[in-house]
Structure 1
C-alpha cells in the first residue's frame, strides 16, 4: 500500500485534534502497578459501556495488561502535567511518590487527584500498525466535578476553561488559541510544555 503522507505530516495533522491526557494503569497478579501516559482515549459505546485506549508497542505495561485482563484509565486534571511526564518517560518506578489506591471494582491502580477514572475489563485487543487498540468494558469509576482537565494540542499541554460558567476567565499567556465550539460549550486553552514520548 502506497503512503503519500510522511511521518511528520501525519503528526501535524493528527496533532491538530485537541485531546485530554490520561494514564492507563494495570497490575500484575501479585499486585505490582504498571502504567503509561496515553492521549489516544475515547468512548466506543454507551450500551454496553465501552472505551478504547491506543498503546504503542512494545510496552511492558501492555504486556501486564494482557496478562491481568483489567486496567484503569485515569483522566488527568489541569495540575497533572508532571504526572503525565513521569508516566510517559523511561522511569524505573513510575509510581514512586505518586499517590494511588486500588480501585473498588477490579483493584487496578487509581491515581489520586484525577478528573475522573474508569475501571475496565478487556473486551478486545486489536493490532493496528505500531499500536494495539485496547477496548475495555467499564465496570467502575468516579468523577470529580470540581476539577478541570489537562489537555494536549499540537505538541503542547494546555488547560481548558469552560466559557459558559460564571467565573471563567481568559488567561494571558504567550499564545492564546481563540475559542472554538465544543458541543454546547466553548473553551480557551493555555499552552504549556510539550508531552514527551507518549505510549512508553
Structure 2
C-alpha cells in the first residue's frame, strides 16, 4: 500500500523518488509490452543539436520531447545515457530542438544512426542565441539553455529554458507511430 504524500511545498522544489521501492517489489511490465504501449503513442520527431567542446556540431533524433512550463518557458528532452550528444549538451550548457517537418524521414534516420559527417548532409545555421545548430527543414525550432539534467533509468531527463525559437506554420510535422513515420494531415 502506498502512503499519500503532501506535495504542496512553498518556495521549494520536491522530487519524489520511489524507484527503489518499486524495484524491490518487482513491479514492472515486460519490456516488449512497454515498447508496444509506448509505440502506440504518436510522437513528433525532433533532432536535438548542440556544439561539443571543439565547437563541432552534434545531434540525435528524439521523439521524447515535451513542454514543461510556459512561465518560464521550459521544455524537456529524454536522451540515452550513452549518447555523445548528451555529453556535449552537459559541456556546452545549451541545445536546440528542431521539430521536423513532414517529408524529412531520411533526415530523421540519418540522425538516428551513427552516420559520419551527418551535418555535412544537411542545411543548418548556428542558432542566434546559443550557437546550437538550427536545421532548415523543420516545422519549428527552439534554442535552449540547460537548466536541469537528471538520470532516469537508461535515459537522462534534460530540461532547457527556451531563449529563442520560431515556427513555420506552413509546414506539417513529421510523427512516429508504431515503428513507422507518418505525416499529419491538415
The TM-score normalised by the length of structure 2 is 0.85
Question: How do 1:174-185 and structure 2 match up within 5 A?
Answer: none
Aligned to 1:5: 29
How many equivalent pairs are there?
Answer: 162
1:85 counterpart (109, 114, 120): 109
1:60 counterpart (77, 84, 103): 84
Other structure's SS at 1:95 match: helix
Post-superposition offset of 1:74:
0.1
Post-superposition offset of 1:88:
0.2
1:101 counterpart (103, 106, 125): 125
Q: In the aligned structure 2, how far is the partner of 1:27 from the partner of 1:60?
A: 11
Q: Does residue 134 in structure 1 map to residue 155 in structure 2?
A: no
Aligned to 2:54: 30
Aligned to 1:144: 168
- Richer in strand (by share): 1
Structure 2: segments with no counterpart, 5+ residues: 1-22
Give the CA RMSD over aligned residues: 0.9
What whole-Å deviation, never above 9, does each CA across 1:109-147 have from its counterpart, x for those lacking one? 000121010000001001000000000000001111110
Post-superposition offset of 1:57:
1.6
